[in-house]
Structure 1
Amino acid sequence: MLDSYRLRLLVAVADTGSIAGAAARMGCSAAAASQQLAVLEREARAQLLERSARSVRLSTAGRVLTDHARRIITDLEVAAREVAAAGSETAAHLRIASFATGTRRIMAPAMIAMRRRQPLIELTFTEIEPEDSVPAVVAGQVDVALTHQYAGFSGPISNGLHQQLVLTDPLLLAVPAFAAPPSAPGLESSELRAFAGADWISGIAVQGFQAVTEMACHLAGFEPRVKSRADTYSVVLDLVAAGLGVALIPRSAVVQRPGVTLLTITAPVNLARNVHVTTRTSDRSPAVAAFREELIRQGRAGRRR
């Protein structure tokens, strides 16, 4: 294996034309430089220098190795800069991911703030649901993910992961305006079992949105009659407005729709999804830590909005 220090010494000989000049550039004595060059010749198994009493010059093999050495040294310098940047809070490349509603309320504001505070950090984003983004973080395909977990459900396998709470997002009940119970404006609330006989709108997948709908209704003592399914909350709200049923909606996913009334759920209690920032425990990059803290700041700001 050729040593990078000795390769630099060989390049210095080529540039200065002497071992003494190379030694001065490298900060060592001429005797030490000569000794190291002899070791390099043994490593290369070739005569690299043609020595005489008063001069030294590169042999053919020495010129070939010097050309390679210049490229190797350049590559090493580039690698050192990129590694230093990856470990810096001010210059790095972060691969980030989030689910859709988390992007709008937390991730997008965090990206804007991060670009303003740390413009040298390059951000690349992918929209992924937690069931896919958590494995992507574990596999090293994503550095920072905004994920969620519904209260009452076990979380994904998190060995090797660091998860920090960003926001607790209460679930509301979206009902057609004509079906809302009479109450003072702004104080609408209801127990979930009051809608045991209603048609329900739920998700398509067997996890997440659909699962929490069924769990909440079971806690309230009934089986929901799911008549419509949709994968996005905006479509769910459109279906509620059209009178096709009622649905659970995280507060952060709410977009005002004419004909929809949102009710606070008084029973069962503590229906919510917990939003986390998920990273690898082994990733101690300052840039990752800085972006994690930015997401937490945006979560606090989201609670005040």
Structure 2
Amino acid sequence: MKRLAALVALAREGTVSAAATALGCGQPTVSHHLRRLEEETGAVLVQHVGRGVRLTPDGARLAARGEEILGLLRRAEAELDTMTTLAAGHVRLAAFPSACSTIVPRLLSTLADTAPGLTFDIVEVEPPEAAALLRSGQVDVAITFAYSGQHFDDDVTVEHLGWDALHLVEPSRSVGGTIAEGRASGEREATGLRPEELRRFSDDRWIAGCERCRTGLLDLCASVGIEPDIGFASDDVVAVQALVAAGFGVTLLSALALAGHRNPGVVTHSVVGAGRELHVATYGAPPRPAAVEEVVQTLLGLSWIA
């Protein structure tokens, strides 16, 4: 780049002396760079005319390209500088549905104050798909969750964000069948259901969520000796709550899912000790690009314990 800059300066200034002044160096240095550039390219770039020099046609063509190359380099340096100082930057973020409606808005609101130059692409996917997008380089950061026994491969770095408690969700009034209002008392509403109290719902139909959440439901029920009769399954928490409100069954939903949408026709009871761990995930090991690191640290600095 220094040799190319010497040639461009000579083309612009007209003399070696003026080129040296423009570059802030001595004439011998400019002459050295020009000689080395000729050796490396195998072309005659400069002709000596009396006490002066002029560019050959090859030299003029290379100087014109050199102007473009050095301009692109300056542009790249400026763009990189703005990204590393967070004056600008673009982050591709993946998050599961209930995080998109709860965590992501709070994250962006915080970053609007601390790093207003950042822009985002946001994609809504479940954790396994988010991990695949991280590996393929299609996203930079993912907000994920995992139930006990679930984990990611070692190439994905996960850091703890908080705990997302599980709640039993049942109709708010009796609608027939085995579901009856008041099976979980007001006291249980305040203190939460013990896991073994889920046996009260062993004869009910259950509504399951996504495959990852269904595993959490089955494991929790198995731990207290229940084999749930799953009559419906849906990834849509709005639809799941509507089914519960209509008396088609009971379900387990996380606090984040209920914070994103709460059907007035249901009542909820937290299940003591039951929940899923929230994570922020990136691909590979740190260090991370400045914009990505800012997003990760902002997430880690906020409380997501639900």
* TM alignment of 1:38-53, pairs within 5 A: 38-53=35-50
| Letter matched to residue 193 of structure 1 | R
Counterpart check, 1:34 vs 2:37? no
Summarize deviations over 1:237-259 as a string: whole Å, max 9, x none: 11000000000000111133233
Summarize deviations over 1:161-218 as a string: whole Å, max 9, x none: 3322112011000012222415237437441111111111113x5x312111111111
Correspondence for 1:276? 279
Counterpart check, 1:172 vs 2:172? no
The Cα of 1:78 is off from its aligned counterpart by 1.5
Match of 2:241 among 231, 237, 240: 237
Counterpart check, 1:97 vs 2:94? yes
Summarize deviations over 1:80-128 as a string: whole Å, max 9, x none: 2223333333322111111110111111211122123212112221112
Counterpart check, 1:224 vs 2:197? no
The Cα of 1:227 is off from its aligned counterpart by 1.0
- Report the number of matched residues: 292
* TM alignment of 1:50-89, pairs within 5 A: 50-89=47-86
Tell me the distance in 1 between the aligned counterparts of 2:112 and 2:264: 36
Runs of 4+ aligned structure 1 residues displaced above 4 Å come to none
Tell me the distance in 2 between the aligned counterparts of 1:163 and 1:87: 23
Tell me the distance in 2 between the aligned counterparts of 1:232 and 1:195: 22
Correspondence for 1:124? 121
| Letter matched to residue 286 of structure 2 | S
Which residues of structure 2 form unaligned runs of 5+?
175-179
* TM alignment of 1:290-305, pairs within 5 A: 290-298=294-302, 300=303, 302-303=304-305
The Cα of 1:46 is off from its aligned counterpart by 1.6
Percent identity of paired positions between Structure 1 and Structure 2: 29
More displaced stretch, 250-259 vs 230-239: 250-259
CA contact (8 A) 1:90 1:121 kept: yes
CA contact (8 A) 1:160 1:282 kept: no
Correspondence for 1:195? 201
The Cα of 1:55 is off from its aligned counterpart by 1.7
Correspondence for 2:186? 184
The Cα of 1:283 is off from its aligned counterpart by 4.1
| Letter matched to residue 278 of structure 1 | A
CA contact (8 A) 1:88 1:285 kept: no
CA contact (8 A) 1:16 1:22 kept: yes
More displaced stretch, 276-285 vs 96-105: 276-285
